Amino acid sequence: MTDTKIAISNLYKIFGRDPANALELVKNGVGKQELLEKHDHVLGLSDINLEIPAKGISVIMGLSGSGKSTLIRHINRLIEPTAGSMMVDGDDVLAMNKEQLIDFRRHKASMVFQKFGLHVHRTVAENVAYGLIVQGQGKKEAKAKSHKWLERVGLAGFEEHFPSQLSGGMQQRVGLARALATDAEILLMDEAFSALDPLIRTDMQDVLLDLQKDLHKTIVFITHDLDEALRIGDRIAILRDGQMIQQGDPQHIIIHPADDYIFDFVKDINRGRVLQVGTIMTKDQSRSTVTIPSDMVLEEALQTVATIDGQSANIVNASDQVVGSISLDQIVKGLARPEVEAQAGQYR
């Protein structure tokens, strides 16, 4: 079991003149639309319960206005909740005084912003060092660390450039280096890659995944994009109208979308490149002498299994133990989009 790093319980956020009163309405079943139309309050978040494990990438998804930014900003208390609790490493973030909170933001949780948020009049190296100097570190030490992290994100040689002289992707590398340099265990990334071109965006995902292999940070990553979520997320949580609709293992969400809203998110993904054989295998062994790893994606498995006598293979886990089997037939079924079932209300 992994430890819980961030525990969010019964969290509500209501925007408006009298949130406390509106909260009662929401608890009595008034939804976002009605709260806005009849009571002039905006339901930002409604009864969110989410445990974010340490050392993994947890993705939060949802349509525009579903409450993603509101949720991530509660973690470092840029937003005060209307009700609920927010614990980080067992510490109550909502009970922190001003000083403790400043300390928490400087040392524990760093943010990477969508629009990079760099100081335009400071050099790249100064941008990265700034957070360290604010932490109270000496100039020399801050500079050395800043150079180290810039090198780590592939920007060696650009230390003395100004942000405006860099491309968007490079600017976001600076943003990432700045967040990493503080040594914070938690990275909060709100649509950090969304402003980038698709190819640059994929590059940045690689940079992040590569760093994560060594650093094992607890990363909360917000995105609109399911492909991005599937590429980097160990877990995915999906919001709609301020409510948590489904959360858990990405593979599970793809094959068991909780409702039509989730189904709309997952229906167009490239199942061949995303679904793994371990997700759709049967647990009994086949007679095949060929084994394939459980995290092999269907597209690849299709190529392999189609050429095997008997057209099936055994599946092994990371420790090389046989955990099940898969046939060509199952792979082909797995590739098909389950449209008809969903329309028939299968996922409700």
Ligand X SMILES: Nc1ncnc2c1ncn2[C@@H]1O[C@H](COP(=O)(O)OP(=O)(O)OP(=O)(O)O)[C@@H](O)[C@H]1O
Q: Provide, rounded to whole angstroms, the least separation between the CB of residue 47 and ligand X.
A: 15
Q: Which C-beta is closer to ligand X: that of 68 or that of 217?
A: 68
| Interactions with ligand X, residue window 7-26 (CB under 6 A) | 15
> Tokens representing 68?
């993603």
Q: Which C-beta is closer to ligand X: that of 72 or that of 302?
A: 72
Q: Provide, rounded to whole angstroms, the least separation between the CB of residue 269 and ligand X.
A: 19
Q: Which does 56 bind (CB under 5 to 8 A by kind): Mg ion, ligand X, none?
A: none
Q: Are 127 and 119 in contact (CB under 8 A)?
A: yes
From CA 204, how far away is CA 174, in angstroms rounded? 11
> Tokens representing 270?
């490239």
Taking alpha carbons only, the member of 159, 63, 79, 65 closest to residue 111 is: 79
Q: Which C-beta is closer to ligand X: that of 72 or that of 342?
A: 72
From residue 65 to residue 104, the character string flagging contacts with ligand X as x (rule: CB under 6 A) and all else as - is xxxxxx----------------------------------
| Interactions with ligand X, residue window 21-60 (CB under 6 A) | 42, 44
Q: Which does 130 bind (CB under 5 to 8 A by kind): ligand X, Mg ion, none?
A: none
From CA 128, how far away is CA 149, in angstroms rounded? 8
Question: From start to end of the chain, where are the E strands?
Answer: 4-15, 42-53, 57-62, 83-88, 91-92, 109-112, 186-190, 218-222, 235-240, 243-248, 291-293, 312-316, 322-327
The amino acid present at 49, given as its one-letter code, is N
Q: Provide, rounded to whole angstroms, the least separation between the CB of residue 284 and ligand X.
A: 43
Q: Which C-beta is closer to ligand X: that of 69 or that of 247?
A: 69
Q: Which does 324 bind (CB under 5 to 8 A by kind): ligand X, Mg ion, none?
A: none
φ and ψ at residue 324, rounded to 5 degrees: 170, -165
Q: Which C-beta is closer to Mg ion: that of 54 or that of 63?
A: 63
Q: Which does 44 bind (CB under 5 to 8 A by kind): Mg ion, ligand X, none?
A: ligand X
Q: Provide, rounded to whole angstroms, the least separation between the CB of residue 190 and Mg ion.
A: 6
Q: Which C-beta is closer to ligand X: that of 19 or that of 334?
A: 19
Q: Which does 31 bind (CB under 5 to 8 A by kind): ligand X, Mg ion, none?
A: none
Residue from 62, 131, 233, 250 binding ligand X (CB under 6 A): 62
Distances (CA, A) of 4 to 55, 87, 190, 252: 9, 10, 21, 21
Helices 198-215 + 168-181 axis angle, to 10: 20
Taking alpha carbons only, the member of 132, 150, 292 closest to residue 207 is: 150
For residue 175, the tally of other CB atoms under 10 A from its CB is: 26
| Interactions with Mg ion, residue window 63-82 (CB under 5 A) | 69
Q: Which C-beta is closer to ligand X: that of 2 or that of 21?
A: 21
Q: Which C-beta is closer to Mg ion: that of 114 or that of 137?
A: 114
CA torsion, points 146, 150, 156, 162, in degrees to nearest 10? Answer: -80
Q: Which does 65 bind (CB under 5 to 8 A by kind): ligand X, Mg ion, none?
A: ligand X
Helix (H, G, I), strand (E, B) or coil at 239: strand
Those residues with Cβ within 8 angstroms of residue 305's Cβ, 6 or more apart along the chain or in another chain: 290, 292, 311, 312, 313, 326, 327, 328, 331
Q: Which does 84 bind (CB under 5 to 8 A by kind): Mg ion, ligand X, none?
A: none
DSSP 334: H
Q: Provide, rounded to whole angstroms, the least separation between the CB of residue 224 and ligand X.
A: 6
From CA 347, how far away is CA 313, in angstroms rounded? 30
Q: Which does 70 bind (CB under 5 to 8 A by kind): ligand X, Mg ion, none?
A: ligand X
DSSP β-ladder status, 312-316 and 322-327: antiparallel
Query: Is residue 223 near ligand X by the rule CB under 6 A?
Result: no
Residues lying near Mg ion in the complex (CB under 5 A): 69
Residues lying near ligand X in the complex (CB under 6 A): 15, 42, 44, 62, 64-70
